[in-house]
Structure 1
Amino acid sequence: MADPKQIKINSMRQKYNTPAWKLFLIYDIFMMVIIVVNLVCLALNAFLLSNFAHWLFNEIHLSQLLDFYKSDLHPWVVKIESWFIIFLVVELGIRWLIAIVRKHHKRWFFFPFVHWYEILAIIPYLRFLRLIRSVIIAYRLEELGYKIIPVSWKKTALFYYRVVMEELSDRVVITVIDGIRTELDTSSSHKKIIHDLVDHHRVMFAETLAQVLQESLAVELKNQQDNISHSVGQIVNQAIADTPELTRLLRLIPIVGNTIEHQIQSIGQRLGENITQGLIQPFVQGSPDTLNPNYRLIAEKVSQMNIDNQSLEQLVESVVYESLESIRKQVKIKQWQLVLEKNDQAKEASIH
């Protein structure tokens, strides 16, 4: 079976396998390279002009080399940066014009909003935003199947991204849960909140209870129907046998009195069994898709019960508090630590 991702890559390559797109691809790679080189040069320039670099070069006795850079090379870095900014402005203007002509966007003025990071990156103090364009180009090339970023780098970046997002989301969730607990502990309106919570879920509770009754009670009644009816019949039989007045009356009838007594007991047993079968039958009907109307009625009545009862209120409060605490415990589990432990165990297993 073909890999869907590879199929998508092949389809995109066929779609973009035109001279114009190849030229565009080469231009993207060129822009990515010069942006990265530009940012590296600016980073080195900032380092060499810092007090730390001054101290470091003095310590290693290369202060003359640093002075040479400041006097002869630094002015060129400034000039090249100025030329590069002019190039970015012109390049952006040309691309904007092409976008207008080819109608890449629904309105001509959408271009600067879509490429906001490129416009802001022209400002000297926001040069770091140029890196966003390089990342976008690299991502586009990755989508086309060109391995620009090593797999190990991507896995590492994805792992630390998930670490940051998990830590942030965990702190938000824990703060919200603690706020809810504090509100329930201190607010006089927490009972109203709980009542509103119950009222909001009454319909869902009724539906769930009806399904539970249908899937458990109905099935069990159907399985035990014969046993229950037989037991009830035995009870009726024994009740007739344990009625001394009837026994004495029947024994007054000569010859057939004893036979009549046994017949009455048998009839009573059958009546008990049939009545029991008739009582149980309405409760074994239905299915998970078509719920028994009796169970639905029972569930609706139970769901509408009044919870203005101290025991019920304590039960609901306990459920709410324990649910919040369970969520809090689950959120506090660091999934990224589990991933690290799993990776460490896999490495140890491969070594041994």
Structure 2
Amino acid sequence: MFTINRENLKRSHQLTWFVIDFVMLGLLIINLVLIIFDSIYSFAGIQDYFQRSMPGFYEVYQPVHRNFILYDLVFVSIFLTEFMVRWAYAVKAGVYARWYFYPFIHWYDLLGCIPTSGMRFLRVLRVISIIYRLHRYGIIDITQTRLFQFVAFYYDAFMEELTDQIVLKVLNGLQYEIKRGSPVVHQVQHGIIYPRRDLLTGWLSDRVADLASEGYVPNRDALRDYLENRINEAIRQNPEISRLKLLPIFGNQVRGTLEEAVGDITSNVIDQVMNDLASSRNHDFIADVVEVLMPAPQAAAAGSPGVTGRPGVESTGPAQVPHRQDNEILLKLMLEIIDVVKEQVRHKRWRERL
């Protein structure tokens, strides 16, 4: 069962109404229990059982059963009185824009007071509304009750199973459409990827700059030493350069100078390239790479079957192979991405909780 937060109850400044809520909640529960019991008692077999096994109870309850509607009217009178009091308070406090809104908004309270079997169980909605109101104001916390946790767990499990099946069906249908030759690949290329090439270029530019600055700059000296050692080793093993030692007097000096010069030039070139990649100057280079990898639709159309760079000249068959290969690669990539999403959807989180 839930516990009552007395501090929130005191700070709410609605102590009287919450006390009324608790009283009405108790009366509603008692009334619903009596309604359920009397409905079960209506069966002749149940009455015969009580008559044989519990004759004292049978003699006491039989008059109540025959006149149950009169006893129920006692509860109904209390519920209607409380309903009218709350309606009058809502009108006085201006809770709603019009005075007649209250009975329409709380229709279940009003209809539940009708003493017929079909309307009586609307009082369950009144119980739920009172509990929700108390929970909303922090007077009680229904989320900590075992009943709420039980219902919430199986509700989440049911909704997860239901939504997973719907998502899997949608993804299977999407895969089928892609394999069948749906224009979705063309739409992804021309409607999603191409219009966002600038965003992709900016993102790649930032990533390359971060990679160059974080990976190269801290290891610049170690990389320079490594390159110089590799270059010196390659020069020593080169037979043409080794012949420089045969030069009289200056042979070894020329060879050593050449090793230093080549190593220094190579290291400086690599250092300049990495510094450029680590700065904002890499944007034009990345843009050129993206342009080659994902040409604009006009450029792609120029390389499509039947069109060449020169107007009026039909292209040969092999000219369309790269374009077809690009589509096949993109199609395969999309199918694999959908497979990964399907595997994630099939993962049942509620089973882990269980």
Q: TM-score under structure 2 normalisation?
A: 0.68
- C-alpha separation in 2, matches of 1:337 and 1:46: 39
> How far did 1:134 drift?
1.6
Match of 1:168 among 162, 174, 183: 162
2:9 equivalent to 1:13: yes
- C-alpha separation in 1, matches of 2:348 and 2:228: 58
Aligned to 2:210: 215
> How far did 1:305 drift?
0.6
> How far did 1:31 drift?
0.8
User: Residue 210 of structure 2 aligns to a residue in which SS?
Assistant: helix
Of 62-71 and 181-190, more deviation after overlay is shown by 62-71
> How far did 1:226 drift?
1.3
| Aligned-pair Cα RMSD in Å | 4.4
- The 1:214/1:72 distance shift into structure 2, 3 A limit, reads same
- The 1:101/1:60 distance shift into structure 2, 3 A limit, reads closer
> How far did 1:32 drift?
0.6
CA contact (8 A) 2:134 2:140 kept: yes
Count of matched residue positions in the alignment of Structure 1 and Structure 2: 317
Match of 1:94 among 85, 94, 101: 85
CA contact (8 A) 2:194 2:294 kept: no
- C-alpha separation in 2, matches of 1:236 and 1:276: 18
- C-alpha separation in 2, matches of 1:167 and 1:69: 50
Quick one: percent identity of the two aligned structures? 21
2:321 equivalent to 1:332: no
> How far did 1:110 drift?
4.4
Of 310-319 and 23-32, more deviation after overlay is shown by 310-319
Match of 1:302 among 281, 286, 290: 290
Alignment map for 1:245-256 (pairs within 5 Å) = 251=247
CA contact (8 A) 2:108 2:122 kept: yes
- C-alpha separation in 2, matches of 1:111 and 1:296: 67
> How far did 1:40 drift?
1.9
Alignment map for 1:58-69 (pairs within 5 Å) = 62=52
- C-alpha separation in 1, matches of 2:259 and 2:181: 67
- The 1:338/1:255 distance shift into structure 2, 3 A limit, reads closer
Deviations 1:96-124 (A, max 9, x none): 22112112234545434543443453464
2:240 equivalent to 1:242: yes
Deviations 1:265-305 (A, max 9, x none): 5445434443443333322x34xxxxx34057516742771
2:40 equivalent to 1:42: no
Partner AA of 2:286 in structure 1: I
- C-alpha separation in 1, matches of 2:83 and 2:128: 17
Aligned to 1:348: none
CA contact (8 A) 1:213 1:295 kept: no
Q: TM-score under structure 1 normalisation?
A: 0.69
- The 1:163/1:199 distance shift into structure 2, 3 A limit, reads same
2:18 equivalent to 1:25: yes
Of 298-307 and 124-133, more deviation after overlay is shown by 298-307
Alignment map for 1:129-208 (pairs within 5 Å) = 129-142=122-135, 144-146=138-140, 151-186=145-180, 188-195=182-189, 196-199=191-194, 202=197, 205-208=200-203
In the alignment, structure 1 segments of 5+ residues that lack a partner are 1-5, 287-291, 341-352
> How far did 1:339 drift?
1.9
> How far did 1:67 drift?
9.8
Partner AA of 1:48 in structure 2: Y
Partner AA of 1:77 in structure 2: F
Partner AA of 2:84 in structure 1: G
In the alignment, structure 2 segments of 5+ residues that lack a partner are 301-322
Of 83-92 and 23-32, more deviation after overlay is shown by 83-92
